């Protein structure tokens, strides 16, 4: 059997696709020469997936555990069949294949994977706890990282649960750093979530004194949180499912609309809200795993919006370091993450 760096040798069905697109992969925990075996401590289920699972299980922890185990047993990985998304994990290095690219990793070293659980071979022996508030699931089990897989060593001076939470959304602030320019007007839909908070902080840094960051949230307590964190120039309380309502509120104070719109919500049907509040030739970045490419593309066409639509890529160069630096240099955000994830 020919090994590839992308893990295609583990695809069971359908043949010819990569592991993320596969409906079933081989999660036998015997590694090939170019793989890394990890003893898993925590799964950080992505927000869209965890939200769907909680609702489907009516917030019953025993049912949530059962659903997660059934998903993994059926597909060999933690890929929500409804949202198609996964999350990431933290664990300790157990075994390094002799052809794995980095031979400096040592047994027992703590790492966080920076590739989705939707393509990661996973075996769960037991789920020990489920935290309904922060999307983290403690397990006993193992996972495999492919040769092409990326990861980050856990800084010893930071709490690993905080690191896991931040790195799970590392793509958002790192992409914001690339997309937002000085003087831009930027709207962030879902600004009070963990990805939204980090994206706001990065956007505030990018736009400078001549730009504006608009945080959009749908609950008063979220508005209060953003005010406490001093992360936005303007905060709008609105329902992202009400596209025209949100458009009216943004246009009332920003008649030229927004240069860049960042969508980090975890629910369906917010594509048009994002598109409507962007100015012509603006940019809309969909980090949310609940995004429908069809709704976004055809919706923009339908309202005659000439905007650049970007489907969020969770990876960009140096995204883990960018995000951890952002966390460490933001005492209020770091304190918030510590309260929530420790």
The CATH number of residue 180's host domain is 3.40.50.720
Q: How far apart are CA 281 and CA 287, in angstroms?
A: 19
Report if residue 118 sits inside a domain: yes
Q: How far apart are CA 132 and CA 127, in angstroms?
A: 14
Q: Which residues of 301-319 are buried (b: 16+ CB within 10 A; e: fewer)?
A: eeeebebebbebebebeeb
Q: Which two tokens stand for residue 94?
A: 């157990």
Q: Which residues of the chain have pLDDT under 50?
A: none
146 and 209 fall within a common domain: no
Provide φ and ψ at 286, rounded to 5°. -100, 95
179 and 126 fall within a common domain: no
**Distance spanning both ends of the chain, measured CA to CA:** 44
For residue 119, how many C-alpha atoms fall within 13 Å in the half-sphere facing its CB?
19
Report if residue 161 sits inside a domain: no
Q: How far apart are CA 7 and CA 225, in angstroms?
A: 42
- The confidence score (pLDDT) of residue 1 equals 61
Q: How far apart are CA 242 and CA 172, in angstroms?
A: 24
- The confidence score (pLDDT) of residue 78 equals 98
Cβ neighbours, 10 Å, residue 228: 10
Helical (H) or strand (E) element with 145 = strand 136-145
Report if residue 1 sits inside a domain: no
Provide φ and ψ at 122, rounded to 5°. -140, 140
Report if residue 2 sits inside a domain: no
Please identify, among 154, 183, 201, the residue that sits at the C-terminal boundary of a domain: 154
Report if residue 342 sits inside a domain: no
209 and 240 fall within a common domain: yes
- The confidence score (pLDDT) of residue 48 equals 87
Q: Which two tokens stand for residue 217?
A: 């949230």
- The confidence score (pLDDT) of residue 69 equals 98
Q: Could you list the residue range(s) of the whole structural domain that residue 53 is in?
A: 8-154
Domain count, the chain: 2
67 and 109 fall within a common domain: yes
Q: How far apart are CA 147 and CA 126, in angstroms?
A: 27
Q: What is the pTM of this model?
A: 0.85
179 and 235 fall within a common domain: yes
**Cis bond leading into 14, ω under 30°?**
yes
Distances (CA, A) of 340 to 110, 134, 165: 21, 7, 10
- The confidence score (pLDDT) of residue 314 equals 80
């Amino acid at each position: 059997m020919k090994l590839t760096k992308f893990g295609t040798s583990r695809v069971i069905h359908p043949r010819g696709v990569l592991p993320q697109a596969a409906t079933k992969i081989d999660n036998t925990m015997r590694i090939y020469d170019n793989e890394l075996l990890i003893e898993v401590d925590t799964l950080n289920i992505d927000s869209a997936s965890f939200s769907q699972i909680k609702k489907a299980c009516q917030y019953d922890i025993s049912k949530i555990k059962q659903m997660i185990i059934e998903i993994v047993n059926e597909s060999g990985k933690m890929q929500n069949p409804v949202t198609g998304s996964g999350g990431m994990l933290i664990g300790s290095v157990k075994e390094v294949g002799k052809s794995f690219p980095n031979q400096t990793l040592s047994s027992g070293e703590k790492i966080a994977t920076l590739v989705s659980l939707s393509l990661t071979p996973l075996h769960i022996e037991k789920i020990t706890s489920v935290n309904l508030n922060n999307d983290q699931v403690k397990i006993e089990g193992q996972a495999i990282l492919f040769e092409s897989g990326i990861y980050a060593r856990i800084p010893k001076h930071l709490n690993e649960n905080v690191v896991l939470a931040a790195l799970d959304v590392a793509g958002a602030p790192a992409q914001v750093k690339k997309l937002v320019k000085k003087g831009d007007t930027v709207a962030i839909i879902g600004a009070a979530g963990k990805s939204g908070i980090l994206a706001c902080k990065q956007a505030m840094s990018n736009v400078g004194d001549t730009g504006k960051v608009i945080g959009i949230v749908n609950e008063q307590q979220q508005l209060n949180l953003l005010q406490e964190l001093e992360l936005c120039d303007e905060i709008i309380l609105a329902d992202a499912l009400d596209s025209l309502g949100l458009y009216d509120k943004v246009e009332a104070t920003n008649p030229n609309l927004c240069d860049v719109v960042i969508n980090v919500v975890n629910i369906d049907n917010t594509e048009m809200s994002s598109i409507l509040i962007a100015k012509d030739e603006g940019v809309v970045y969909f980090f949310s795993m609940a995004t429908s490419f069809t709704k976004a593309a055809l919706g923009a066409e339908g309202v005659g919006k000439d905007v650049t639509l970007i489907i969020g890529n969770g990876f960009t160069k140096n995204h883990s370091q960018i995000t951890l630096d952002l966390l460490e240099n933001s005492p209020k955000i770091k304190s918030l993450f510590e309260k929530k994830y420790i």
